[in-house]
Structure 1
Amino acid sequence: MLWICKDSSRSLSSMSIEELMRRFLHESFGSKYIYIISPWITPFTLSSRFIHYPYVSSNNVIDVLKALSNSGVGVKVLMRCIDDSMDIQLIRVLTNLVRERQIILNNEVKSFFRDRIDDFLNRANAMIDLARDLKDAVRFDLGADDKLLTWYRLHTKLYINDHSVIMGSANFTRGGILDDGNWECVSHFTKEENTEIYNYALRVAQHYFSISKGFSDCERRVVRIVNEFGGVVNEPIYSIEDLIEYLERVRDSLY
């Protein structure tokens, strides 16, 4: 078993987490399947071009996942729906600020609100892009029931193919994978090193994916939350794209 950790500036091991993920993605081209399970997933750019002939030559990790799918690998991606990252009270406050234009905010407060909006918009746009690019290969955790707000959600970071497993604290994001991101630790082991634990990890991945939902289910949850919590927005929202456009206007009004 291999352990790799990093701090905010570099890997603390002989191999970086990005190097391990590159190796994992390369070997996945010879696999029947690959599971990418992470609460947050974004289409981040690798530090250098990922080349695997004849399928892909790109810096964008989502291009690698699409190439895996196009080569016949069963790509399965699971992440949280963005309802879990919506700050309802913040959106309500911002909506009221837009309505009451006489309220004057200093630049620091405006910057704080803009950053919070941008963080949510980045997650929302990434989710839409992933669903568009990878289609049914992307699934979403909406919790264990149909309540509008659920607190027990996907937190596992698990990456598995035919040959090996990576698990630990690293989300499938720039901050999780690249050296200049978050402080992370992951472990890596092959199927041959521990078949029992490998098979258990595979069963976990298969179970998580089996209880996940599609993009339309995620979108319905987001729309319900926004429309059913009174005063959150001051216009009807019918899709995630509508919410993105609304929040972009609110953000722009804070300049």
Structure 2
Amino acid sequence: MERKSIWALSISIFLLFTVANSEVEEVKQALVQFMQKLSSGNVPRDQNWGWNMSSDPCNDRWVGVICDMSLQSVRKIVLDGFNLSGTLDASSVCMTKSLAVLSLEGNSVAGEIPEEISNCKQLIYLSISENRFSGTIPVSMSQLRNLKRLDVSNNNLSGKIPDFSLISGLVGFLAENNYLSGRIPDFSFSNLMQFNVSNNRLSGPIPDVRGRFGADSFSGNPGLCGKPLSNACPPTSPS
């Protein structure tokens, strides 16, 4: 009976470690796929680059990856200015459940922002500025309740700005130099420290920004009216 118990315990421990390892491998495989789609083979792969199944993102310090070494988990992916010209595979990168920072500034990443970006539940900082993203800002982004700063500026984005009012901790929203249209939704302007939607195709009255932002945050939108811009909104017709 004792031998059976020991055997069963050994099997349980073996299975436990197998499951743990397979989960780590699954995340690593997802990150490798994320990079494959992001780089499209145009990034030089020297021995220090990493991003492969034969190395570890934390212990081998993959380029652009910053980890919480105590938990051995990826916390930040910062790949600014690497001439990346592929697409953003959000389903893969969001497999890293502890990811707090994702920055792809100054590349040539194209395609749409995937709805699956909402799976990165721990994101605090997301910047995809100065790329070639097109399509709309997905409504699913409003589910990123931990987000503090969102920068989608200098792309080819169109459509309406989603309602981000439920992200109570948002302190920065930058979306200048796109093709966004419609009205400016009601942000929590009392909390925002950075805000810029200039040079788009927005229209309608500017919400009450509580004196926190000047005309340069709204200029370049001929259809916008009201303070802090100089052109007043036309009077509403009586009912």
TM-score over 0.5 for the alignment?
A: no
TM-score bucket of the superposed structures, by smaller chain: under 0.3
Select the structure that is richer in helix: 1
Give the structure-1-normalised TM-score.
0.26
Higher relative contact order (Cα pairs below 8 Å, separated by 6+ residues): 1
Give the structure-2-normalised TM-score.
0.27
**Largest Rg, 1 or 2:** 2
